[in-house]
Amino acid sequence: MMSVLEQRHIVECAFLPLACSCSIDGSESVTIQIRDPVTAQVYLNVTGISRSELSTSRQISQLVMQLRQDLRTLNCGSVKRQA
């Protein structure tokens, strides 16, 4: 499995130029928040992703694609989503 730092870096860089923060708590649960880099308005907030679901580059890529689709669906509006 990739290190926590590697996983965070890949996810956070995948959404540039938007601001993305990826945090992993003690129970290995991942939270991803995507925001406007200027206004800090939250576009998408996803919680409860198991870190084990992101153990390969392919799994991370699939999650990123799904979150990008969610952003397109929301049209980068002010809607906050909990998954």
More confident residue, 37 or 83: 37
CB-hemisphere CA count at 13 Å for 23? 9
- Ordered domains of the chain (ranges, CATH): 4-74 (3.30.160)
Cross-strand bridge partners of residue 4: none
The answer to whether residue 77 scores a pLDDT higher than 60 is no
Q: CA-to-CA distance for 9 and 27, rounded, in angstroms?
A: 19
What token pair was written down for 77? Answer: 């509006």
Task: Find all residues with CB under 8 Å of 62, minimum gap 6, and list them.
Answer: none
Per-residue confidence band for 45, with pLDDT thresholds at 50, 70 and 90? very high
User: Taking the CB of residue 20, how many other CB atoms lie within 10 A of it?
Assistant: 20
User: Structure pTM?
Assistant: 0.80
Q: Which two tokens stand for residue 15?
A: 């959404």
Q: For residue 31, which amino acid is it?
A: T
- What's the pLDDT tens digit per position in 5-36? 888 899 999 999 999 999 988 888 999 999 99
pLDDT of 46-55, one tens digit each? 999 998 888 8
CA pair distance 52, 38, nearest whole angstrom = 32
pLDDT in tens, 58-69: 999 999 999 999
Mean pLDDT (the chain) is 86
